[in-house]
A and B are shown apart, each in its own frame.
Chain A
Amino acid sequence: MSNVIQEIEKEQMKENVVDFNIGDTIKVFYKIIEGKKERIQPFEGVVTRIQGGGITKAFTVRKVVGGVGVEKTYLIHSPKITEITVLREGKARKAKLFYLRDRVGSKANKIKARDPRFN
C-alpha cells in the first residue's frame, strides 16, 4: 500500500481501540442520528468475525432477538461508535463463528468463556 494512503488512514484511526477477540461478548454503543435528534443505541452480542485491516477493519456482532438472529457489522474506527465494552471473554476455536447461525434454541449464541469461572 502506498505511503500516502497509509498517512490518510492513520489520521482517521482511533488511538485507543478496545482490544477484543472472536467469541467475546461485547456491547457496542453506536450513535444514531434521527432527523436532528441524536441517540446512542447499544447492541450486545458475540463477535463472530473480524475482517480487514487499516481503516477498513470491521467486526460483526451477533445476537438472537425473539428467535431471530441479528448480525451487525461495524467499522472499528467509525466515529459513530462511542464506546465498546467487553462483557465476557469467550473461548473460540475458529476465526469465524458462522456455525452459530445454524444453532437453534436457548444455547444458540453460547460460547465457552475463556475464564472457566463463568461457565
Chain B
Amino acid sequence: MKKINKGLLTKKIGMTKVFNEEGEALSVTVLQLIENKIIQKKTIDNDGYESLRVGYHIEKESKISKPNKGQFKAIDGLFKKIKEFKFSDMTKFEVGASLPVSMFEVNEEVNATGVTKGRGFTGTVKRYNFTISPMAHGSKNHRRCGSIGAGTGQGKVWKGQKMPGHYGNVNVTVKNLKIVKIDQDRSLVLVKGAVPGANGSEIVLYN
C-alpha cells in the first residue's frame, strides 16, 4: 500500500441532495465514520516498516477468541476488523486514540474505495452494454452476444473477448471526490457524487 496523507474507514449511509451557499443543489453521498481506534503503532525498529493498525466494528467479548483478544490489550474495546494505514506523517497519532472526522477539510479532494454491488453471473447486455436484438417479429436472438470471432481461418477466439460471466463484487476506487460538508457531532462526511457499493457497506476515504 502506498503512503497516504489522511485516511478513514466509513460506512455508506446513502445518497441525498444538499444545497450549497450559492443555492445550487448537489448530489452527495453520506458517509458515517465507524469507530476508528488505533490499536497498534508499527515502527521501523520493531516491524521493519511504519503503519497504524486501526480497529473498527465493535465486537462482543464472547465473539472473539482468546488469541485474538491479545491484540486489543493496549486499548479498551474489542473490534471485529482491523485495517492498516500507512500515513506519511505518523507522529500525531497515539495508540488508544480514535481517528477523527476533522482529519479532512471541506472542499478537499478524496478517493473512495469500496466493493461494488455483486450482480452474480450476468449476460453481456448488462455487463458490457451490448445491444439487444428484436424481441418480436420472429427474432430468435434476444439478449445473446452474437458472433465471437472469425471462422476457421483464424480458428480461435481472441483473449479478452467480452462474454457473459461474473459481474460486480470487486474493489473499485473513485478518485477526486470533493468533500461538501463535515458533521463532527454525528461524525459524517458528505462527499459529492456517487461511491461504489450498497448502502451500509464499508468505504475507505483517503488522499
Interface positions of A (Cβ within 8 A of B)? 1-2, 4-5, 7-9, 12, 31, 33, 54-56, 75, 77-80
Are B14 and A79 in contact (CB-based, < 8 A)?
no
Question: In whole angstroms, what is the CA distance A4 to B16 when docked?
Answer: 10
For chain B, give the interface size range. Answer: 10 to 19
Q: A8-B30, A33-B22, A80-B23 are in contact. List 20 more A-B contacts (CB 8 A).
A: A1-B14, A2-B13, A2-B30, A4-B13, A4-B32, A4-B186, A4-B188, A5-B14, A5-B16, A5-B30, A7-B186, A8-B16, A8-B18, A9-B17, A12-B19, A54-B16, A55-B16, A55-B17, A78-B23, A78-B25
B181, closest chain A residue (CB)? A8
Question: In whole angstroms, what is the CA distance A31 to B16 when docked?
Answer: 23
- Please give, as numbers and ranges, the residues of chain B lying within 8 Å of A5 by CB-CB distance: 13-14, 16, 30
B200, closest chain A residue (CB)? A2
Are B23 and A79 in contact (CB-based, < 8 A)?
yes
Cβ of B173 within 8 Å of any chain A Cβ, yes or no, is no
4 smallest CB-CB distances across A and B, nearest first, come from: A80-B23, A79-B23, A55-B17, A5-B16
Question: In whole angstroms, what is the CA distance A78 to B199 when docked?
Answer: 26
- Please give, as numbers and ranges, the residues of chain A lying within 8 Å of B32 by CB-CB distance: 4
Question: In whole angstroms, what is the CA distance A8 to B181 when docked?
Answer: 11
A79: which of B13, B19, B190 is its contact (CB, 8 Å)?
A: B19
Complex A-B: 12 CB contacts under 8 Å: A2-B14, A2-B199, A5-B13, A5-B16, A7-B186, A8-B16, A8-B188, A8-B190, A9-B17, A31-B23, A55-B16, A75-B17
Are A4 and B30 in contact (CB-based, < 8 A)?
yes
- Please give, as numbers and ranges, the residues of chain B lying within 8 Å of A79 by CB-CB distance: 19, 23
- Please give, as numbers and ranges, the residues of chain A lying within 8 Å of B22 by CB-CB distance: 33
A8, closest chain B residue (CB)? B16
Question: In whole angstroms, what is the CA distance A79 to B199 when docked?
Answer: 28
Question: In whole angstroms, what is the CA distance A1 to B13 when docked?
Answer: 9
Are B16 and A9 in contact (CB-based, < 8 A)?
yes
A56, closest chain B residue (CB)? B17
Which chain B residues numbered 70 to 128 have a C-beta less than 8 Å away from chain A?
A: none
Question: In whole angstroms, what is the CA distance A8 to B180 when docked?
Answer: 13
Question: In whole angstroms, what is the CA distance A8 to B186 when docked?
Answer: 11
Question: In whole angstroms, what is the CA distance A38 to B168 when docked?
Answer: 47
